[in-house]
Structure 1
Amino acid sequence: MKTTVITLLVCLCLGTAMAQNQDSMKTFDPAFAHTVYFWFKDPDNTADRNLFETSLKKFLDNSAYAKTNFIGKPPKATREVVDGSFTYSLIVTFESAEAQEGYQNEQPHLTFIEECKHLWEKVIVYDSFGVAK
């Protein structure tokens, strides 16, 4: 059940990311999706949020591997199946699993982690291969 709910949430976020950012994003690549959820130690701290958003955007703007991205915050949950406990979500697409591996080791990603790792108490990552239509 939990896996199904998470899968539905990821699909919803991916669809929303495409609809909301279509003009400013490159073409969505369904080959590989990297979904990350962050839980902050102090989620109401405005300075922490500003640092995180600035560092994350700088990283994504300078990534040689990330094709599309979506940075999100949880909406007020109105249904029991919606988990709104995280502080931020990030969905990044890649043309392949190999590209995602390159992203893990590139300097902009490592700099982002170094600048922001003190902000979060928990991070969960879900990686997915696209399913052929």
Structure 2
Amino acid sequence: MKTITTLLFLTVSLTALAQNKETMNEFDSNFAHTVYFWLENPDSKEDCKAFETSLQKFLDNSAYAKTKFIGKPPRASRDVVDGSFTYSLIVSFESAEAQQNYQDEAPHKLFIEESSKLWTKVIVYDSQGI
């Protein structure tokens, strides 16, 4: 009976913690990581494709990212909208510790190695939920 209870507990725990395409869309308000990228050659289709491919590969292989959103600026409709960036990334985490682990994981480091030559500026805004 103890073995069955342990197996049931492990199955439920792993199912609850597992990430897939469906659960990646659930925003976790504990910790949000927002990144803006300015590419050196934003009109280069080759550079954009290389950046998008590397970023998507990284996010697909991240063990910590709960939500992933890659965006481009829309046509600004108001003066307060800053559309000067080339790409934005919004990722949420269950904790600040999970976000730190994300920073240190191999897929993140590979993304930086592959793509840092493509950008001229990066700004990061981290927020913890209230």
TM-score interval, smaller chain: 0.7 to 0.9
Q: For residue 17 of structure 2, what is the aligned residue in structure 1?
A: none
Amino acid at match of 2:129: G
The code of the aligned residue for 2:83 comes to G
TM-score with structure 2 length normalisation?
0.81
2:127 matched residue in structure 1: 128
Tell me whether 1:44 sits opposite 2:43 in the alignment.
yes
Quote the sequence identity (%). 69
Q: Is the 8 A contact 2:25 2:68 kept in 1?
A: no
Q: Residue type of the partner of 2:50? A: L
Structure 1: gaps of 5 or more residues? 1-21
Instruction: Tell me the equivalent position of 1:16.
Output: none
**Greater Rg by CA:** 2
Stretches of structure 2 that go unaligned for 5 or more consecutive residues are 1-20
User: Would you identify which runs of 4 or more consecutive aligned residues in structure 1 move more than 6 Å?
Assistant: none
The aligned counterpart of 2:16 is none
Instruction: Quote the RMSD (CA, aligned, Å).
Output: 1.4
Task: Report the alpha carbon displacement of residue 27 of structure 1 after superposing the two structures with TM.
Answer: 2.1
SS in 2 for 1:25: helix
Q: Any residues of structure 2 matched to 1:1-133 within 5 Å, and which?
A: 25-131=24-130
**Aligned counterparts of 1:83 and 1:24: Cα–Cα separation in 2:** 30
Give the paired residue count. Answer: 110
